[in-house]
């Protein structure tokens, strides 16, 4: 379905029992809401209703040109406004990769809107900042961001040879068909630039502005993640003041929703069920 919010039109995949508790699902780069497709059946079977959002830059009707339009406060405001448009007062929230950063920001800025948080792959922004400042290995893992922040250059590298580099980036999601599912939309005019603008708009000030989170939180991390190391993952706990669980998926890559949908669904459900009494 399409949802109008903040003068933009967002695509939202809605499924599950109509009377089920709502779950807002936020995807990462360079994917889209479809990354949750193999996770949601277990959530629906448990009685939850899911709203998987194609976020700013990924929804064709929500693709502003200006880089500053993709700052974290704008992305968080989108999530809150979409919940408003859907008539959802309070939701369980799960986010992967950049969607995790948006989820952290939403839980920090609008705790009244977030019943529980399940952050996947990317820890609290302050934990990432700590790792980048103290762990040389994390600096190496995050070096790709320098390329992504270069307008024109990043697009040229990722889209050369019919998107060969972009496809290699996505290898962990599955077979060639699974890779194409995410890579092909990024080849549409303006799509990759909009997605990369999330990196280009990112500032240290915006990352530091994300406060500690008080809502019940689970952080799911995989030990074969090429982008997020153990230092950042372990530092996450210090930035959650509410109930906190750290779930490690051994042998799984960065693409958790695609590679380990069962364990991820279990982690989300365990978090949701842990607060049923609230």
Catalytic residue among 27, 32, 199, 258: 199
Dist CA 243 CA 93 (whole Å)? 15
CB 102 within 8 A of CB 114: no
70 is catalytic: no
199 is catalytic: yes
E strands present in the chain: 2-5, 8-15, 21-26, 48-53, 91-96, 114-120, 217-222, 244-249
Catalytic residue among 97, 206, 225, 258: 97
Catalytic residue among 21, 239, 254, 258: 254
58 is catalytic: no
Dist CA 83 CA 80 (whole Å)? 5
- 198 phi/psi in degrees, rounded to 5: -60, -40
Can you tell me which residue has the tokens 């995807």?
27
Could you give the residue numbers annotated as active site?
97, 199, 254
């Amino acid at each position: 379905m399409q949802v109008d919010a903040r003068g933009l039109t967002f695509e939202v995949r809605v499924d599950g029992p109509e009377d089920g508790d709502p779950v807002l699902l936020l995807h990462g780069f360079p994917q889209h809401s479809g990354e949750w497709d193999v996770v949601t059946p277990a959530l629906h079977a448990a009685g939850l209703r899911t709203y998987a959002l194609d976020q700013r830059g990924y929804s064709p009707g929500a693709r502003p040109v200006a880089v500053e339009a993709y700052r974290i406060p704008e992305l968080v405001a989108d999530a809150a406004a979409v919940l408003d448009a859907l008539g959802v007062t309070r939701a369980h929230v799960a986010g992967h990769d950049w969607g995790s950063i948006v989820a952290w920001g939403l839980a920090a800025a609008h705790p009244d809107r977030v019943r529980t948080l399940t952050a996947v792959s990317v820890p609290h922004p302050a934990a990432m900042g700590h790792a980048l400042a103290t762990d040389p290995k994390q600096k190496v893992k995050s070096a790709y961001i320098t390329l992504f922040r270069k307008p024109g250059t990043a697009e040229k590298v990722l889209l050369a040879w019919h998107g060969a580099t972009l496809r290699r980036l996505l290898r962990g999601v599955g077979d060639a068909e699974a890779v194409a599912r995410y890579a092909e939309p990024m080849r549409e005019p303006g799509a990759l630039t909009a997605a990369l603008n999330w990196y280009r708009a990112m500032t240290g000030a915006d990352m530091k502005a994300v406060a500690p989170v008080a809502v019940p939180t689970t952080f799911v991390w995989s030990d074969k993640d090429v982008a997020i190391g153990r230092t950042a993952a372990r530092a996450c706990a210090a930035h959650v003041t509410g109930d906190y669980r750290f779930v490690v998926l051994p042998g799984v890559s960065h693409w958790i929703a695609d590679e380990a949908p069962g364990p991820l669904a279990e982690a989300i459900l365990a978090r949701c069920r842990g607060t049923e009494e609230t």
